[in-house]
Amino acid sequence: MKPIRTVALLALISLLSHEQADAGAPQVRAQAPGFYRMMLGHVEITALLDGTHPFPVHDVMTRNETMPGGERKAVKLAESYPGKAEALLAGSDLSAPVEGSINAFLVNTGEKLILIDSGAGSLYGACCGHLLENLRTSGYKPEQIDEIYLTHLHADHVGGIAPQGKPAFPNAIIRVNQKDLDYWLDAKNENEAPKFLKPMFEGDRASLKPYLEAGRLRPFSEGQELSPGIRAIPTPGHTPGHTSYEISSEGQTLLVWGDLVHVAPIQFPDPAVTVAYDNDPISAEAERMGVFAQSARTASWIAAAHIAFPGIGHVRSVDGRFEWLPANYTTVLNPTRD
Ligand SMILES: [Zn+2]
Ligand SMILES: [Zn+2]
């Protein structure tokens, strides 16, 4: 029989440990690091998350409608089809404002390290600008990046090259479509642009400045092969020089398509839905439809800036309607063939 003091001590220890167990471990409340890797033939692709933010569906989404005179024009979706956005989101168990991803993609060809888009840097606030930490966690350093290909000059794609105006990639050359550069660096366009676009012009100037001054900004003309196996494909509408990048290796292709889609659960079932930021909504819809149809036909991989991270998957056509098929998660990056 144990002495009474020992029994009391054991009871106390048991009580304390029970209380600790009841309190539970503190919750971590942080997401996993934002990178996801896949192989495309010999090319290594790393999706990098810059952050997520609530996408203002009701304020931003518009739809191309045919006017009485036959002309097509973008009209606020909430006005032309009240309840449509809500119904489409509900079909994916979502509601507005839906959390949207900002994705960028790192391409390691074995010869060169190329970053496609750069996130928002300091231009979107605390939600975003996490690309650099995710790049480092993924095993690379900013100084290793040789080239940065921008899909277009909106803040959430260009801001990451120079957060707070300081260049984040000391050895990189910036490539961007000449048409976007001409549009966004023109004071006349800035004066004529709607008010909500003004910060984009300011953000572009601040982000591009250090690279321009260092002679490391190299615009390209359309349809050019920028690197062996990587082609710039014009997909204008969202901005005048909006560009998608097609990467090919070993018979596989991946299209980094930029902002052809902002809210997948709405724009796959209804590609006529546009956004207020579209410079030319009619062309934006035409490009989206064209790329959807082609991608469904060729079964090429897609890497999307604003589809839920990692934004990698395929487009499928079912009875004339388009669907997004996210990539199946895998840890196998070097498949061996028997
Ligand atoms: Zn954009
Ligand atoms: Zn964007």
Centroid of ligand 2 to alpha carbon of 306 (angstroms) = 7
User: What pLDDT is attached to residue 49?
Assistant: 98
Centroid of ligand 1 to alpha carbon of 199 (angstroms) = 13
- Note residues around ion ligand 2 (Cβ under 5 angstroms): 156, 259
Taking 70 as the threshold, does the pLDDT of residue 8 lie above it?
no
- Note residues around ion ligand 1 (Cβ under 5 angstroms): 154, 259
Ligand in nearest proximity to the CA of 284: 1
Ligand in nearest proximity to the CA of 243: 1
Taking 80 as the threshold, does the pLDDT of residue 289 lie above it?
yes
User: What pLDDT is attached to residue 223?
Assistant: 78
Token duo for residue 145: 């990046």
Ligand in nearest proximity to the CA of 156: 2
pLDDT band at 258 (very low <50, low <70, confident <90, very high): very high
Over range 158-170, report the average pLDDT: 97
State whether residue 337 is helix, strand or coil: coil
Ligand in nearest proximity to the CA of 180: 1
| Sheet strand arrangement including 113-116 | 35-40, 43-55, 98-108, 113-116, 147-149, 173-177, 217-220
User: What pLDDT is attached to residue 21?
Assistant: 57
Centroid of ligand 1 to alpha carbon of 19 (angstroms) = 52
**Identity of the amino acid at 255:** L
Nearest partner of 211 among 176, 177, 164, 161, judged by Cα: 161
Ligand in nearest proximity to the CA of 275: 1
Centroid of ligand 1 to alpha carbon of 156 (angstroms) = 7
What domains are defined for the chain?
A: 35-326 (3.60.15.10)
Ligand in nearest proximity to the CA of 120: 2
Centroid of ligand 1 to alpha carbon of 258 (angstroms) = 8
Over range 54-70, report the average pLDDT: 94
Chain length of the chain: 338
Centroid of ligand 2 to alpha carbon of 309 (angstroms) = 13
State whether residue 216 is helix, strand or coil: coil
**Is 296:268 a contact under the CB 8 Å cutoff?**
no
pLDDT band at 1 (very low <50, low <70, confident <90, very high): very low
State whether residue 267 is helix, strand or coil: helix
Average pLDDT taken over every residue of the chain: 93
Taking 90 as the threshold, does the pLDDT of residue 89 lie above it?
yes
Alpha carbon 273 to chain centroid distance?
Answer: 18
Taking 70 as the threshold, does the pLDDT of residue 337 lie above it?
no
**Identity of the amino acid at 15:** L
Centroid of ligand 1 to alpha carbon of 20 (angstroms) = 50
Centroid of ligand 2 to alpha carbon of 265 (angstroms) = 16
Ligand in nearest proximity to the CA of 197: 1
pLDDT tens digit sequence for 114-144: 999 999 999 999 999 999 999 999 999 999 9
Taking 60 as the threshold, does the pLDDT of residue 336 lie above it?
no
